[in-house]
Amino acid sequence: MTAVISKKALGIAPMSNNKMIMSFISEKVQALILPMAGIFCFMLLWSLTASSIDTSLGKFPGPHAVATQVVNLIDEHNAERDKADVFYIRQDERNKVRMAKDPSYQPKVRIYTGKETFLDQILTSLVTVISGFLVAAVIAIPLGIAIGLSKTLNTAINPIIQIFKPVSPLAWLPIVTMVVSALYVSPDPMFAKSFITSLITVTLCSLWPMVINTSFGVVSMNQDWVNVSKVLSLPKHVHIQKIVLPASIPAIFTGMRMSLGIAWMVLIAAEMLSQSPGLGKFVWDEFQNGSSQSLSRIMTAVLTIGLIGYLLDRTMLQLQRILSWDKSSAQL
Amino acid sequence: MSIILDISKVDMVFPTPKGDFTALKGVDLQIKKGEFISLIGHSGCGKSTVLNIVACLHRATLGGVLLNNKEVTEPGPERAVVFQNHSLLPWLTAYQNIELAVKQVFKNKMSPAEMKEWIEHNLRLVHMDHAKDKRPDEISGGMKQRIGIARALAMKPEVLLMDEPFGALDALTRAHMQDSLMEIQQKLNNTVIMITHDVDEAVLLSDRIVMMTNGPAATIGEILDVNLPHPRNRLALAEDVEYNRLRSAVLTFLYEKQRKVEVIPTAESTKTTEKAGIKQNTSSVA
Ligand SMILES: Nc1ncnc2c1ncn2[C@@H]1O[C@H](COP(=O)(O)OP(=O)(O)O)[C@@H](O)[C@H]1O
Ligand SMILES: [Mg+2]
């Protein structure tokens, strides 16, 4: 925020055209060079400290070790995919041969059950976090609007929100796991139980920031807009659709970005704790594995988690830029 | 001409943490069809409260408002309001802002083509047809206020209520807007109540100037008939004897009879009290 303000202040200062172009260019260059310099310094510091820390699993992984692991993990993924392809080709051939011998034979099709690779785990975590987040949004935004519009509802629900908000969703995990195992019983489940458990955990922690921010957006809506709606005698549903919802879009997005950030952090921890597939499980498995490569693989996962978290936030921000009328709140 | 709006013995008491606050006491005013009324008074005396009661954004504690001899109890588009801070919806373009109003008011009375024509007609009326696809944050304060007026006019109101419509504008833009408003009023002959604290604006535009006493328990102090012929020209009127008599009558009321006790009339202190008044005003509305 402060950076934005100071830039604006710079723009206001009287300057000649030439100077303005120069300062614009230097601003762009700074925006590119400074982060690069920062990253470079971090790398340097990292490799220096890494080489001086000895653990029972060997040296602490530096940038080089991580880079090697990135290549390794991608290779492993490709190898695993090749294995799967080979498996399916062989299965096909086998079935064809049996069919030729005996036309009444029902071909058996089995699904390849190989080890989940790093890239598979990334995908699992991403799908889980997005699904859980979407479920939370579908519940939280209407609830937030209802609470924002009705003082009665607000007074009734507020204590519940205040009590559940500070609970770490990880504390819910055992309860969620037990309830899911008890209730989610179907002979041919569409989703794995572990997926449902992780999803509910993500939903639980995404819910509160969105509810609170949405209702705050509704309550702090410009009173003039409400008066416009009153003078027009807009029916309730039109009022919500045309006035309340657009007016609180900036606050809703603030809540969504907060939620998504928390959701991603919590999901990794939940996956580690409950051994559900995903990046968290990858980290935990490597930790249990304890090979000479484990630390560098964990370090790779840590950086990946950070990068994905960053990209998720950027995506939300981009979405906000497209959807929100209030461009000033869609900065940073 | 017939009485269209009857503000009948209105009292307004606001409950506050420090006890009841009587803002208005016995406000009584009858307005004829096609009349242009200015409501003038010091900041914080209760002008907005009167307007909000007519619009039914507030309910009077005692007394009431009759429109065409029927008591009004809810806000409605037949009493359209132009707010001080334009109050356009920032996520809609100028056209869409007016469209929202037109679609609601003429739901089953106009075809889509007629609606489009009517919206564009009102944009032309305020000379804003070139900016119809602009959003409020892309146009100047004066332009926003024009759109706000177009939106209110598009509702075909029986009474047009304006709360310091030009208060936030610079002097030059304000003069333009006043001329535009006079031009529109010549064409449409609406019934208008306009709040202002600009003496020239009041004399230039009105048929009657209603002057309010200072609060608490504010009420109507004097009513001044303005019988200047239309169309009025601000330059020609500057020399006009009648114009200057009216002008000084309003000034006398405001700065002698209803002079604010604490105000020593230097530019500085008037400004600060005004600001304080506005601040109080917005915080009480929010
Ligand atoms: N909702 C409210 N609650 C309490 N006091 C109010 C409220 N609205 C207005 N007032 C008070 O009523 C008086 C008149 O306010 P207002 O009508 O806004 O004045 P004006 O428009 O003439 O500047 C002020 O003293 C103000 O503080
Ligand atoms: Mg006011």
Planar angle of CA A28, A29, A35, nearest 5 degrees: 100
A222, A225, A233: residue with CB nearest B75: A233
Q: Is B255 in the pocket of ligand 1 (CB under 6 A)?
A: no
Choose the final residue of a domain: B108, B140, B156: B156
Q: What is the pLDDT of residue A327?
A: 76
Span A101-149, pLDDT tens digits: 888 877 777 888 778 888 989 999 999 999 999 999 999 999 999 999 9
Q: Is B21 in the pocket of ligand 1 (CB under 6 A)?
A: yes
B90 touches chain A (CB under 8 A): yes
What whole-number distance in Å separates Cα of residue A198 and Cα of residue A128? Answer: 7
Is 60 exceeded by the pLDDT of residue A12? no
* Alpha helices (H) in B189-240, listed in sequence order: 199-205, 234-237
Total of domains in chain B? 2
Interface of A with B in 249-268 (CB under 8 A): 249
Query: Nearest CA to B211 among B178, B243, B254?
Result: B254
Distance A214 CA to ligand 2 centre (A): 30
Mark whether B193 and B243 lie in a shared domain.
Answer: yes
Distance B281 CA to ligand 2 centre (A): 6
Mark whether B93 and B50 lie in a shared domain.
Answer: no
Is 70 exceeded by the pLDDT of residue B284? no
Q: Which domains does chain A have, with CATH numbers?
A: 69-115 (no CATH), 116-326 (1.10.3720.10)
Report yes or no: A183 and A114 within 8 Å, Cβ to Cβ.
Answer: no
Q: Is B22 in the pocket of ligand 1 (CB under 6 A)?
A: no
Mark whether B275 and B186 lie in a shared domain.
Answer: yes
Mark whether B147 and B263 lie in a shared domain.
Answer: no
Mark whether B92 and B176 lie in a shared domain.
Answer: no
Cα B208 from chain centroid (whole Å):
13
What whole-number distance in Å separates Cα of residue A191 and Cα of residue A175? Answer: 19
Is 90 exceeded by the pLDDT of residue B155? yes
Ligand nearest to the CA of B47: 1
- The environment of the single-atom ion ligand 2, i.e. residues with CB closer than 5 A, is B 48, 281
Higher pLDDT, A12 or A188: A188
Q: What is the pLDDT of residue B20?
A: 93
CATH number at residue B209: 3.40.50.300
Q: Is B212 in the pocket of ligand 1 (CB under 6 A)?
A: no
DSSP state of B253: I
Tokens standing for B36?
Answer: 């242009």
Q: What ipTM does this complex have?
A: 0.85
Mark whether B91 and B212 lie in a shared domain.
Answer: no
Mark whether B53 and B14 lie in a shared domain.
Answer: yes
Taking residues A298-317, what's their average pLDDT?
Answer: 94
**Domain hosting residue B57, numbered range:** 3-68+159-285
Going by alpha carbons, the residue nearest to atom 2 of ligand 1 is: B284
Ligand nearest to the CA of B163: 2
B3: which strand partners? B32
In a domain, B8, yes or no: yes
Is 80 exceeded by the pLDDT of residue A9? no
A224, A233, A247: residue with CB nearest B77: A233
Q: What ranges make up the beta strands (E) of A14-88?
A: 54-55, 58-59
In a domain, B74, yes or no: no
In a domain, B246, yes or no: yes
Counting ligand 1 atoms within 8 A of each CB, the residue from B53, B281, B282 with the most, and so the one to mutate, is B281
Work out the pLDDT band at B273, boundaries 50, 70, 90.
very low
B272 touches chain A (CB under 8 A): no
Is 70 exceeded by the pLDDT of residue B286? no
Q: Is B44 in the pocket of ligand 1 (CB under 6 A)?
A: yes
Going by alpha carbons, the residue nearest to atom 5 of ligand 1 is: B14
Ligand nearest to the CA of B39: 1
Is 50 exceeded by the pLDDT of residue A267? yes
Whole-structure pTM over 0.80, yes or no? yes
Mark whether B251 and B273 lie in a shared domain.
Answer: yes
Interface of A with B in 199-228 (CB under 8 A): 222-225, 227-228
Choose the final residue of a domain: B156, B180, B196: B156
Query: Nearest CA to B210 among B46, B66, B86?
Result: B46
In a domain, B7, yes or no: yes
With a pLDDT cut of 70, the percent of chain A lying above it is 95
In a domain, B73, yes or no: no
Going by alpha carbons, the residue nearest to atom 4 of ligand 1 is: B14
A242 to chain B, minimum CA–CA distance in Å? 9
Work out the burial of residue B263: count CB atoms within 10 Å of its CB; fewer than 13 is exposed, 13-18 middle, 19 or more buried. middle
What whole-number distance in Å separates Cα of residue B33 and Cα of residue A321? Answer: 48
B169 to chain A, minimum CA–CA distance in Å? 18
Q: What are the two backbone dihedrals, phi and then psi, of residue B87, each rounded to the nearest 5 degrees?
A: 50, 35
Mark whether B20 and B113 lie in a shared domain.
Answer: no
Nearest CA in chain A to B87: A224
Q: What is the pLDDT of residue B102?
A: 96
Choose the final residue of a domain: B156, B179, B207: B156
- Subunit contact B81:A242, Cβ cutoff 8 A: no
In a domain, B85, yes or no: yes
Mark whether B231 and B281 lie in a shared domain.
Answer: yes
In a domain, B169, yes or no: yes
Atom of ligand 1 nearest to the CA of B50: 17
Mark whether B152 and B165 lie in a shared domain.
Answer: no
Query: Nearest CA to B106 among B116, B121, B97, B95?
Result: B116
In a domain, B76, yes or no: no
Mark whether B143 and B59 lie in a shared domain.
Answer: no
Helix (H) or strand (E) holding A285: helix A279-289
Span A201-225, pLDDT tens digits: 999 989 999 999 999 999 999 999 9
Atom of ligand 1 nearest to the CA of B52: 17
